[in-house]
Chain A
Amino acid sequence: MDGRDRVFDDRTPGVEEYEPTANYLSYTVGLGLAILLTIMSFVVSQTNLLWPPGIPVGLIVLAFAQIGVHLVFFLHIGTGPDHTNNVVALAFGVFIVFLVIVGSIWIITNLNWNMMDMPH
């Protein structure tokens, strides 16, 4: 009975309970990780620490890592019950973004390839 009461009290519409979504520490950890990943991106792009043909892939991986850090530490997208809908919407958004970007690059690269040996 106790659990049931608590749940219904929590969810009454219009009631603004204090929701500690984060604290100073989590923002600071996020900032530190983001700075670290940014510096790594700049260093990787300007030096040959990575195998040169692999640099674009490395940069993309670092960008995704940093976006993940932003989502978790700044936007607080989490695994809690209140986030179920947010995560599903995010997954759909990422799917559309992926389709638009990768699809465009794929199609246009293919087009450029086919146009290359056209007689003028």
Chain B
Amino acid sequence: MTVATIDAVRPELVRGRGGGGPASTRTVVAYGFWIFLLSDFILFSGLFAAYAVLSDQTAGGPTGAELFNLRNVFIETMCLLFSSYTCGLGALSAERRQPGRFLIFAALSFVLGAAFLVIESTEFAAMVGKGAGPSRSAFLSGFFTLVGTHGVHVTGGLLWLIYMVAQVVAKGLRPHVLRRLLCWSLFWHALDIVWVGVFTLVYLMGAR
């Protein structure tokens, strides 16, 4: 039985395995961006590993239990989670060609992401003010590198969101704009996944 015949009889056997013709541009773009996101996860895994091995090396300085405010962390977590949710609904509205709804959800995602950044940077500033900056101990160097890199990613995501909204307004929901929007929403969801690791390993385990 040749491949072409299998195609005809059992299309579900060959789709996604090189059969049934080339994949759609959307599938290929999402796959390429997914590979990038996985490489970003590997970047974060290095920072997580560094933090995990340095978290006890406080050099006589403040420990996580003294520094972390779990109420703020919970609010930050909820901001990112709801931002991820509104981002998903925005992507869905865009795919259904509803630009008005998309803009509302994009604005909500932006406000929630910005609220997260404001809380985080206030917390960082307070820690540096108390003499618990990144140069105080290996624990704090690891902390600021890991959490700061995530914060920089969130900042990049917000700038990218402004750029995407400008494209939707200027060009409309064309196929290539929709594909870029898909990449942005994947990026935003991926940041939320990294944050799950951050609040579990850094804050919840560190504050005990």
Contacts and interface: CB of A to CB of B under 8 A. Distances in A.
Interface string A61-86: 01100110011001100001111111
B128 interface: no
A111 to B, nearest CB: 9
A71 B25 CA distance: 22
Given A24-B89, A85-B31, A74 B196 contact: no
Contacts of B48: 101
B193 interface: yes
Contacts, number: 163
A5 to B, nearest CB: 9
Nearest to B176: A16
B92 interface: yes
A43 to B, nearest CB: 10
Contact of B200 (A4, A59, A71): A59
Chain B at the A interface: SS class: helix
B25 A16 contact: yes
Interface string B37-66: 011011001101110110000000000000
Interface residues of B, number: 60
Interface of B: 7-9, 11-12, 14-17, 20-27, 30-31, 34-35, 38-39, 41-42, 45-46, 48-50, 52-53, 70, 74, 77-78, 81-82, 84-85, 88-89, 92, 95, 175, 178, 186, 189-190, 192-193, 196-197, 199-201, 204-205, 207-208
Given A14-B25, A16-B178, A19-B24, 12 more contacts: A3-B9, A4-B8, A11-B15, A21-B95, A30-B85, A31-B81, A35-B78, A59-B205, A63-B196, A89-B38, A93-B39, A101-B52
15 contacts: A7-B14, A13-B23, A13-B25, A19-B26, A22-B88, A22-B92, A31-B82, A41-B204, A45-B204, A70-B189, A74-B84, A80-B16, A84-B16, A89-B38, A93-B38
Contact of B42 (A8, A14, A100): A100
Contacts of B46: 100
